[in-house]
Amino acid sequence: MSDMILAIGTRKGLFLARSRDGGPFEVGEVKFSTIAVHAVAFDTRRSPARLLAAIEYGHFGPSVMWSDDLGGTWGEAERPPVAFPEDTGTTLERVWQLQVSPTEPDVVYAGAEPGALFRSEDGGRTYSLVRGLWDHPHRAQWQPGGGGLCMHTVLPHPSDPKSIAIAVSTGGFYRSSDGGQSWEAANRGIRAPFMPEGQQYPEFGQCVHKVARHPSRPERLFLQHHWGVYRSDDHGASWTSIGDSLPSDFGFPIVVHPERPDTVYVIPLHGDMDRTPVGHRYRVYRSDDAGGSWRPLSAGLPDEPTYSSILRDAMCAEGSSVFFGTRDGQVYASRDDGETWTTVARHLPDVLTVRAVTL
C-alpha cells in the first residue's frame, strides 16, 4: 500500500490532500488558516518524512515551520530561522523556495527575497546566508521584477554536493561548482526582448520565471522565461529556444517528468499584459521530445472560459502524476502524464505552490 500526499500552499493556509493506493484525493482541514504559505518541501530522507513550510505571518513577517507527522504538529526555531546578518543592512521579505539537498543529509536550501540563498544544516530548522552569492558583484545590480526580487528556483545537483544552481527574478540563472563559494552567470542564448536593440542577450538581468532539472540527466535544464521557453543540455552553459511551436511562450511554471528526461510540461498564458490562459481555457502543453514539439492536454479540464492564471510553483509532477493549482483556488490532477484530468479541490484561496510525494 502507498499513499500520495499533495501539499497545497495558498494565500490563506496550507491544505494537505491524501490519495490511498491510487484512489481519489481527500483534502484535509486547513493548516495555518489565514496565513500565506509560499513554499513547501517534503524531506523523505527522514523517517518519518518531514514537511517544511515557508509561511508569512503578515505583521510578524516570514518564517519556516516543520512537521514530522504530516502537519499534525509543527515546530519553529526559537529565533527567526531565516534572517539576514546585521552587517548586510537587509531585512527578509519572503521565503520563496525550499529545496532539500539530495546528497547531503540534513541540508535544506531556502531561496529568499530580496535575492538571496540560505542553507540549513539541521534539517530545515535554521538557516545561514550563502555569502558567496550575496557578495557576487552582479547582485547589487539585480532589479526586482513584478513579483519582487525573488529567488524562486534552487537546484542542488542530484549527485554532486558541490554543484548547485539558482534562478532569481530578474537576475537570471547562476551556477556554482564549489558548494556556493563562487558563482557565475549562465544565461548565454536567453533573449531579453524588453532590452534595447543590440543589448538583448545580456550576461545577466533576464527575467527568468522558473527552471527545472531532470534528476537522472542533471546537465539537462528547462527554463520558462518572461518571454521564451528554453532548454540547456550543458548545465546552463548555453540555452536553445524550444518555444516556437507553442501558442505563447509566456508563462510561469515549467515541470520535467520525473522519469522521462525528454518530457516537459508548461501552461502558456497570453502574455505579460494579459496573464490568462491561452484561449481562456486551461491547457497543459507537453513535449515528449525535449521541446521539439508540443501537444495540448485538456481532457477533463473545464471547458468554460477562465481568466485565472497559474503561478511558477503551482505545478509539480510525481511519477506519472501531474498537478497544478490556479489563482482562483482550483486544483487539478492527472494520473496518466497529463492525458486526462480530475479535480482535487475547488474554491480554495489563491494557490501559490503545490508539491507531491509518495510515502
pLDDT tens, residue by residue, 314-358: 999 999 999 999 999 999 999 999 999 999 999 999 999 999 999
- Whole-number pLDDT of residue 292: 97
Cβ atoms of residues 139 and 115 within 8 Å: yes
pTM above 0.85, yes or no: yes
Assign 1 a pLDDT band (cuts: 50, 70, 90): low
Q: Across residues 78-90, what is the average pLDDT? A: 96
Distance CA(271)–CA(189), nearest Å, equals 21
To the nearest whole number, what is the mean pLDDT of the chain? 96
In whole angstroms, give the CA distance from residue 89 to residue 342.
48
> Cα dist. 120→105, 280, 288 in Å?
10, 42, 36
Cβ(316)–Cβ(356) below 8 Å: yes
Q: Give Cβ neighbours of residue 325 (< 8 Å, ≥ 6 apart).
A: 8, 10, 310, 314, 315, 331, 332, 345, 348, 351, 353, 354
Name the percent of the chain lying above pLDDT 70: 100
> What pLDDT does 62 receive?
96
Percent of the chain residues past pLDDT 90, beyond the cut: 93
pLDDT at 57: 87
Per-residue pLDDT at 214 exceeds 80: yes
> Within its chain, how far is the Cα of 114 from the centroid?
17
| Dihedral sign from CA coordinates of 315, 316, 317, 322 | negative
What is the reported pLDDT for 359? Answer: 93
Question: How large is the average pLDDT for residues 229-238?
Answer: 97
Summarize pLDDT for 240-266 with one digit per residue, the tens: 999 999 999 999 999 999 999 999 999
- Give the pLDDT confidence score for residue 195 in this predicted structure: 82
pLDDT computed for residue 213 by the predictor: 96
